[in-house]
Amino acid sequence: MKITVVGAGGNVGATVALSIAQRDYAKEVVMVDIERKEGDKVFYPSKGRALDQWESSPVHGFDTRLRGAVDYAETAGSDVCVITAGVPRRPGMSRDDLLGINAGIVKSVTEELVKHSPNTILVIVSNPLDVMSYVAYAASGFDSSRVMGMAGILDTARYRAFLADELDISPKDIQALLMGGHGDTMVPLPRYTTVSGIPVTQLIDEQKLDAIVERTKKGGGEIVGLMGTSAWYAPGAAAAQMVEAILLDQNRIFPCAARLSGQYGIDDLFLGVPVKLGKGGIKEIIEVDLNEKEMDLLKDSAKAVRQTMDEFHELMNKQS
Ligand code: APR
């Protein structure tokens, strides 16, 4: 099995690559990034990261080869490609500037990947996630079962970690589902949260649960506030879990950003929903029962994503 991670000279991409290697089921992980010029020096961040990680293999005990690359020819025949490439928002850069730049990056990266791996499956991590997933979907020309975005596993992991702290229990025993967009319009579903089968609402009072949901929504910002830059361990581990489910045909049920075509009454939009992940990508989009309040929240979330999509289309029209 061959996996490519693009943007792997950066924090999230490098973490995805190492998380995959440490599970030791794949033959190789190709870590692509651009070269960085500083004066008369040229640096190759993903080659450096790959070498450093490969040198940890005797200690960690894995065989998966990690290889840095700049040339997409080296990614040929990848079974899954993860895209974490992008630029962070810099002072003076508007939201639209960022959207335009990252869309351009994701589009060109997707085209290169697809050229060399026409049968691959694409997992998108670059933000704004729901829109970048659409960009990759459109640029690849793939069936939507082969293009998906990573956000739900990360959001759910944060929620489970906070609950585990509050209840002083193992995060492994917490099963949860969050839907919708990544961020403020995330749709929490306490009804679908259990601790080893016990509804979480029997173990925690409503106020505390609400506070945990709010903290989860702002989970990304909490890390930025502490570190001055965005998270990578949990996002990297979450993307690696999607890769594993696909390549090992695990048929796992995860919340992922998937292109909806009528499910939940929403059409032609990438949004976080529970899916069955295995060989070939998304095998099924699961439509869970939502009450009126939950459905309203999901529609609000869809509206917010649709608005960013509209801004993106406007931007593209202006540029063309
Ligand atoms: N081709 C390949 N790699 C690129 C390109 C490109 N055209 N443009 C930028 N990159 C690389 C950068 O060189 C950098 O190494 O993408 C990497 C991004 O890494 P970081 O800046 O460290 O960002 P990171 O924290 O890893 O986040 C990456 O994931 O969670 C999201 O919001 C996050 O969109 C961001 C992405």
Residue at 177: amino acid letter: L
Task: Give the residue-averaged pLDDT of 85-110.
Answer: 87
User: What pLDDT is attached to residue 204?
Assistant: 97
User: Which is it for strands 281-285 and 267-278: parallel, antiparallel or unpaired?
Assistant: antiparallel
pTM value?
A: 0.97
- pLDDT value at position 182? 82
Whether residue 93 is found in the same domain as residue 156: no
- Digit-coded pLDDT (tens) for 301-311: 999 999 999 98
- CATH number of the domain that residue 73 is part of: 3.40.50.720
Read off the pLDDT of residues 186-236 as tens digits, 9 standing for 90 and up: 998 999 999 999 999 999 999 999 999 999 999 999 999 999 889 999 999
End of a domain among 149, 169, 196? 149
Range of the domain at 18: 2-149
116 is catalytic: no
pLDDT band at residue 184, thresholds of 50, 70 and 90?
Answer: confident
What confidence score (pLDDT) does residue 98 get?
84
Cα–Cα distance for residue pair 177/285, rounded to 1 Å = 14
Distance 298 CA to ligand 1 centre (A): 29
300 in the same domain as 281:
yes
Cβ < 6 A, ligand 1 pocket: 6-7, 9-13, 32-34, 45, 84-88, 105, 109, 125-127, 230, 232, 235
315 assigned to some structural domain: no
Q: Do residues 120 and 7 share a domain?
A: yes
**Active-site entry in 60, 116, 182, 313:** 182
Do 306 and 160 share a structural domain? yes
Query: Do residue 267 and residue 288 come from a single domain?
Result: yes
Band (pLDDT 50/70/90 cuts) for residue 312 is confident
Q: Which of 131, 149, 167 is the last residue of a domain?
A: 149
Determine what percent of the chain is predicted with pLDDT higher than 90: 88
pLDDT at 25: 97
**Last-in-domain residue among 149, 183, 205:** 149
User: Is 320 part of a structural domain of the chain?
Assistant: no
Q: What is the pLDDT of residue 183?
A: 76
Question: Do 92 and 179 lie in a common domain?
Answer: no
Confirm if 217 and 186 have CB atoms less than 8 A apart.
Answer: yes
Please count the structural domains in the chain: 2
> What CATH number is given to the structural domain containing 212?
3.90.110.10
185 and 267 both lie in a single domain: yes
Asked if residue 262 belongs to a domain, the reply is yes
